[in-house]
Amino acid sequence: MSTCLPSHLRLGVLLALGILILGVGTTPAVAQRLAPSTGNQPLTYIIARTDRLRIELYQEDDLSLIARVDAQGCVNLPLVGEVRVIGRTIIDAQKAVEAAYLEGRFLKNPKATINVEEYAPRDVSVAGYVKNPGRIPLPIESTLTIVEVITRAGGFTDIAKGTEVSITRVLPDGTKMTETVDVDSLIRGKNSVDLKKTAFKLEPGDIIYVPPRLI
């Protein structure tokens, strides 16, 4: 018996198989890529100090405004006052704003939308014994590793002490935190590197200093 099918039946079988493959075989990662966008803001962007945000509440025009993230990492909103948004993604910041109005019993079902009107300068400073000291810009949606920053600064000079590179960060309360990283071992891929320090993520405003070796 012939296994050939008329053209219109073959088309129907192919369509059915396509639907089955999409419904059963799509991995979560692929499904996420296929999901509709929630706007023109990068979902993974982390809000930084001095970002200028447009904050809108659905059907509450009097409560919508444009605000800049202050030195403490907050925006000052009508009725609820300061809401901390620094270090949050856009979606998490929207939830924080909604929670503030809900917990304060100002709105029964708040729906917030946040867009970045103006990004804060995103760069780190590299000083000391690198070939091209200065400011290195960070990507909007991500960051750079300490190795990538040193590479963009031209690499170490001949007398640099790459085993004791310091990273200084000013915290929201004004205090400073300094971390020392053995960048030389990171570059060489040595197993003795402190894994906790390799995961240290650079943030805008960080100051990186490469000291000299004692000669």
Residue 149: partners with Cβ closer than 8 Å, 6 or more residues away: 124, 126, 136, 202, 208
Give me the pLDDT at residue 200, please. 66
Q: Cα–Cα–Cα angle for 71, 75, 80, nearest 5°?
A: 135
CA contacts within 13 A on the Cβ side of 30: 7
Q: What is the pLDDT along the chain (215 residues), one digit of tens a residue?
A: 444 444 444 444 433 434 333 333 333 332 222 222 334 445 578 888 889 999 999 999 999 999 999 988 899 999 999 999 988 889 999 999 999 999 888 998 999 999 999 888 888 999 999 999 999 998 877 778 899 999 999 999 999 999 999 999 887 667 888 999 989 888 887 655 555 555 567 888 899 999 998 86
Q: How far is CA 53 from CA 80, 107, 116, 129, 154, in A?
A: 17, 21, 5, 38, 35
CA 40 to chain centroid: 15
- The pTM score is 0.59
| Beta partners for residue 212, in sequence order | 160
What CATH number does domain 52-118 carry, 3.30.1950.10, 3.10.100.10, 2.102.10.10, 3.10.180.10?
Answer: 3.30.1950.10
Cα 114 from Cα 55, distance rounded (Å): 5
Percent of the chain with pLDDT over 90: 44
pLDDT tens string 85-99: 988 889 999 999 999
Query: Do the bridges between strand 207-210 and strand 165-170 make them parallel or antiparallel, or are there none, so unpaired?
Result: antiparallel
Q: Note the pLDDT of residue 185.
A: 85
Q: Report how far residue 109's alpha carbon sits from residue 64's, in angstroms, rounded to the nearest whole number.
A: 15
The residues of the chain that CATH labels 3.30.1950.10 are 52-118
The closest of 90, 147, 97, 145 to 119, measured between CA atoms, is 90
- Dump pLDDT digits (tens) for 183-206: 988 888 765 555 555 556 788 889
Domain with CATH 3.10.560.10 in the chain: 123-210
Cβ atoms < 10 Å from Cβ of 188: 10
Topology given in CATH for the domain delimited by 123-210:
Outer membrane lipoprotein wza fold like (3.10.560)
Q: Helix, strand, or coil here: 150?
A: helix
Give the tens place of pLDDT for each residue, 205-215: 899 999 998 86
